[in-house]
Amino acid sequence: MVLDSINVEQLLDQSVNDLDIEIVERKGKGHPDSLIDGASESVSRALCAHYLKNYDAIHHHNVDKGLLVGGNSKPVFGGGVILDPIYMVVAGRATANILRDGKVDTVPVGNIATTAIKEFIRSTMRFLDPETHVVVDYKIKPGSADLRSVFYGSKGVPLSNDTSVGVAYAPLTITEQLVLETERLLNSSRFKESFPEIGEDIKVMGLRRRKTINLTVAAAMVSPLVPDASHYQSVLEQVKKRLEDESSKVTDMDVVVHINSGDNYSKGVYYLTVTGTSAEMGDDGNTGRGNRPNGLISPMRQYSMEAAAGKNPVNHTGKIFNVLAQRMADRVQRDVPGIKETYVRLLSRIGAPISDPQVASVALKLEQGVSIGKVKGDVESIVEDELSRVQEVTPLIISGSVTLF
């Protein structure tokens, strides 16, 4: 029986592909916003691992408030120094006292958090040393009684931690694919082998104007690996050519690539960093301010403003519903013929089972000649099936198998 909360409707406006203008952005893994997203998520995953190892269950936590305050540095060709370190703090709530065998165990939340953040930095950045270049801090306290009650209030399907909305869409447009794949290429291990001078702080902004795509790439250059201005310019010229060649494999549209447009060679202005991220001096970061859970910022689309990173993966629908909505959208787009675009909007209600949202809204843009009645039943069945299996999302999040930012 189809749940009463499921609603399927048709969207009659233009598809994104039919618009004259499309804008898409992605902040790479070394961008300050991505770094603090990753720090928050690393703390959540580390807490999950500790709780599961020691108590066979994940306990209540939400550590989705994080701030990165940029440091101060002096990069120069062939070298450079960090003058003041980056400051990173993850804040939130976590269960610190757990009753076991008649005794109260104290969970070392602070040590778990700082260790996780430092390990995340090491695994993400080649030249950013978490011991000397970063001050790692935490402000994590016990959760409120009402939210702990909701978390532990069900023996079956978890009860929602919040009244939250998760939004997803499918498929990606060519512009979205190109922006996503460009950043992933620049931050891939094989690309770093060829161009180690390119840091991890990559931002890609895509503008499609009818059939021409402009890619504006900001790539932090690692100053100790760049001996002089000539080398800097040579690397960027080679990277530009490589991106143009790779773009031709994704689309037959004209692609124009711009790299480090803020440079001014005549005035000696170059995008140099000591460690490969603007966080060392040029920019700050905030959890939830960067990429949406599909890894992109696409203002022509519908999406949630929830910060998925750091929320607990058991009952916080601000996290779970964004992942679940993406699973639904991808499956509808893959399995139901005649659909051009799929948008899924899931709204929870605090205290209600996460399998029973207030509304599971699916909006479809259909191919010419396809009626909503022809596809509605299949779409409803997919949504109902995915809701019944919502608890499958938790282990995917814990294992890092899904994109969150």
pLDDT at 256 over 60: yes
- Please give the residue range of the domain that contains residue 185: 174-286
pLDDT at 65 over 60: yes
Alpha helices in 60-188 (DSSP H): 109-124, 145-151, 174-186
pLDDT at 61 over 60: yes
Answer yes or no: is 181 within a domain: yes
Distance CA 115, CA 109 (A): 10
**CB burial string 144-183: b at 16+ within 10 A, e below:** eeebeebbeeeeebbbbbbebbbbbbbbbbbbbbbbbbbb
Answer yes or no: is 113 within a domain: no
Answer yes or no: is 240 within a domain: yes
Answer yes or no: is 47 within a domain: no
**Section 202-213 average pLDDT:** 98
**Section 1-10 average pLDDT:** 83
Model confidence at 150, pLDDT cuts 50, 70, 90, reads confident
Answer yes or no: is 234 within a domain: yes
Q: What average pLDDT does the chain have?
A: 96
Task: Say what the pLDDT of residue 220 is.
Answer: 98
**Section 37-48 average pLDDT:** 98
Domain CATH for 272: 3.30.300.340
Answer yes or no: is 220 within a domain: yes
pLDDT at 101 over 90: no
Question: What are the distances in angstroms from CA 31 to CA 38, 39, 233, 275, 285?
Answer: 10, 12, 22, 12, 8
**Section 338-351 average pLDDT:** 97
Percent of the chain with pLDDT over 90: 93
**Section 38-55 average pLDDT:** 97
Secondary structure class of 36 (helix, strand, coil)? helix
Answer yes or no: is 202 within a domain: yes
State the residue for tokens 């009645």.
373
**Section 350-372 average pLDDT:** 97
Percent of the chain with pLDDT over 70: 100
Please give the model's pTM, rounded to 2 decimal places: 0.95
Task: Say what the pLDDT of residue 147 is.
Answer: 84
pLDDT at 377 over 70: yes
Our count of domains for the chain comes to 1
pLDDT at 164 over 90: yes
Model confidence at 390, pLDDT cuts 50, 70, 90, reads very high
Model confidence at 1, pLDDT cuts 50, 70, 90, reads very low
